[in-house]
Amino acid sequence: MYYNAFIDSLSYIGRSFKLFLYCLFVQVFISLAMATDLADNENRIPVADKNFQICLEEIADKYGWLTSAEFKEITCHNKSIQSVSGLYQFSQLEKLSLYNNNIKEIDLSLLPRLRYVNVAGNKLTYLQLKNIYNLTTLYAFKNKLISLDIDNVPLLSTIKANNNELINLSINNAGNLVKLNIFNNQLEIIDIKKLSSLKYLDTRQNPMSDEFYDHLDSINGLTALHDGNADDWN
């Protein structure tokens, strides 16, 4: 009788120990899963706009990038992106192409490694471009920009800012600028005295004076397209 009771006790202890091990395993598994989820959340690309987030994650998967600092280029066309808040964290970015979205403002001043920027076809009313020393190409056409201030971009060679609502355009420290397209804006005059490398200028459909057009025509080596008569705008 005592022997049978002893055997039953051992069996009970064995079952209890197995149950303990099982519960311990489940707890460890859940803890590891939670830690993994937390790590994944910490490594997610930190932007607020959902559509921008999805596009960035697709790019990260394509190139095997895990953090924003690994991104060299971003191409997100036709993604219905409304905000690029958090873009400043992509500190190594060299190419940014956000064509045809719904973005209203962009500050690129903290991305000095940028070489190519395409923000055309958005709803931009604000674009900050100062101190982007490596920038060579800027496409900002088909937006709602009223003012554009481009400063300290010594390598910039091409600007397409046509089809905006510009009444003010300031370009400084851009001695390598060769091509400037500002077709279809509201500019009355632009200062190009310091743009010594400029070879092509399209100012058509702007309310500029005949005197300014005559000045453009007198500049040797410059191909200037213009309407030739500001009275057409009255």
* 157 shares a domain with 109: yes
Higher pLDDT, 45 or 123: 123
* 127 shares a domain with 219: yes
Backbone φ and ψ for 105, nearest 5 degrees, come out as -150, 145
Q: Provide the domain limits for residue 126.
A: 47-233
d(CA 103, CA 114): 19
* 153 shares a domain with 85: yes
* 98 shares a domain with 27: no
How many domains does the structure of the chain reveal?
2
* 223 shares a domain with 165: yes
* 179 shares a domain with 91: yes
Residue pLDDT, tens place only, 103-118: 999 999 999 999 999 9
Backbone φ and ψ for 18, nearest 5 degrees, come out as -65, -40
| Contacts of residue 233, Cβ cutoff 8 Å, sequence gap at least 6 | 207
| pLDDT > 90 fraction of the chain, expressed in percent and rounded | 73
Could you give the maximum distance between any two Cα atoms of the chain, in Å? 120
Residue pLDDT, tens place only, 67-101: 999 999 999 999 999 999 999 999 999 999 999 99
* 187 shares a domain with 95: yes
Average pLDDT, the chain: 85
Instruction: Read off the pLDDT of each residue in 171-181 and give the average, rounded to a whole number.
Output: 95
Q: Is the pLDDT reported for residue 122 higher than 80? A: yes
Instruction: Read off the pLDDT of each residue in 193-217 and give the average, rounded to a whole number.
Output: 95
CATH label of the domain that carries residue 109: 3.80.10.10
* 104 shares a domain with 72: yes
Asked if 68 contacts 44 with a C-beta cutoff of 8 angstroms, the reply is no
Residue pLDDT, tens place only, 124-161: 999 999 889 999 999 999 999 999 999 889 999 999 99
* 220 shares a domain with 112: yes
The whole-number pLDDT of residue 20 equals: 46
Asked if 112 contacts 92 with a C-beta cutoff of 8 angstroms, the reply is no
The whole-number pLDDT of residue 228 equals: 78
* 162 shares a domain with 52: yes
* 57 shares a domain with 8: no
Instruction: Read off the pLDDT of each residue in 218-229 and give the average, rounded to a whole number.
Output: 89
* 37 shares a domain with 60: no
> Which of 206, 210, 216 is CA-nearest to residue 228?
210
> Which of 116, 119, 233 is CA-nearest to residue 185?
233
